[in-house]
Copies of this chain bind each other. A is one copy, B any other.
């Protein structure tokens, strides 16, 4: 098996990890203690799911979609020593704009967290006369500065790359409609300054493989490897009783990340477990973060399950890349470029 190098990855000796049990054959496997965040984790928050975490000060920190008892999602801060047990702040994150005025999104959901040049950024689905992308930054997780919305409505599932490429910030997103959107492709947009965005390029379309035939959306912040940017994403199929969300994976070109170098024809994980198949939205595995230990190549994938809880899955970098290449639907095949 080819040895895949991590680019700029850091050693994370404390990364959540559990070896594949004997006889298990899949390239991605679940944590036996799932879900790691169950129901009613905070007073007046009934469910946490579709959330994103990063290493921080020797432990972990995360931005979490907290579905409040009024039914409205907002973003809550959580801290963890081991990435498995989480302590949450009792109140949602408060945002201020660049001149210090408080900002009150009507709702905030599906955040992704990324560190770029020492600053932490998170993007989420916010409302501005329709669902679109919110963007904020912090250096200390105490003050959170809300930046300009990168895009017009309607948009969801934004994922910022962890470094500039060719001098520009790069963000994946999935243009939507005003409802539950029975379509969806992933695009990439560039920005010199995180204020103005352009040079939009198409990246991923749904494919003829049924598990991702309806829509696809960016998931975890991409991991830079010697093979390219490893992107966990969600692929959606339709049934007579609604959508089913699975986890897929693609490898994007390092310097031109709108080019799909490899794309796995099979899902890596699909709803099978009780906590994935039943809940507020049954049949959802929705990846929002993937951490990797540069020393071992161990990957921990955080995914929302059934819009009700957070679960963990694991993979090994070399094995995963080899699996994607072995099951490659050919470079760019999923995209009608």
Contact = CB atoms under 8 A, between A and B. Distances in A.
Interface stretch (A4-12, A32-40, A181-189, A232-240): A181-189
Interface in A124-181: 128-130, 132, 148-155, 173, 175, 177-178
A192 to B, nearest CB: 6
A175 B130 contact: yes
A336 interface: yes
Interface of A: 128-130, 132, 148-155, 173, 175, 177-178, 183, 185, 187, 189-193, 195-200, 202, 205, 336
Nearest to A186: B129
A85 to B, nearest CB: 39
Number of copies: 2
Contacts of A192: 196
A154 to B, nearest CB: 6
A183 B187 contact: no
Contact of A152 (B129, B195, B200, B336): B200
Contacts of A173: 152
B199 A198 contact: no
Contacts of A149: 198, 200
Contacts of A185: 129-130
A308 to B, nearest CB: 29
Contact of A196 (B130, B191, B205): B191
A205 B130 CA distance: 11
A194 to B, nearest CB: 9
A219 B129 CA distance: 20
A148 B189 CA distance: 11
A149 B151 CA distance: 13
B151 A200 contact: yes
Contact of A198 (B148, B177, B336): B148
B197 A198 contact: yes
A283 to B, nearest CB: 24
Given A132-B200, A152-B187, A190-B196, 12 more contacts: A128-B202, A129-B187, A130-B185, A149-B198, A151-B151, A152-B173, A154-B175, A154-B177, A177-B177, A191-B196, A195-B198, A196-B199
Given A129-B187, A129-B205, A129-B336, A148 B178 contact: no
Q: Which 10 pairs, one residue from A and one from B, show the smallest C-beta to C-beta distance?
A: A196-B196, A177-B177, A196-B198, A129-B202, A195-B198, A152-B175, A153-B175, A152-B200, A148-B198, A152-B187
Contacts of A198: 148-150, 191, 195-197
A187 B154 CA distance: 12
A317 B247 CA distance: 59
Nearest to A199: B148
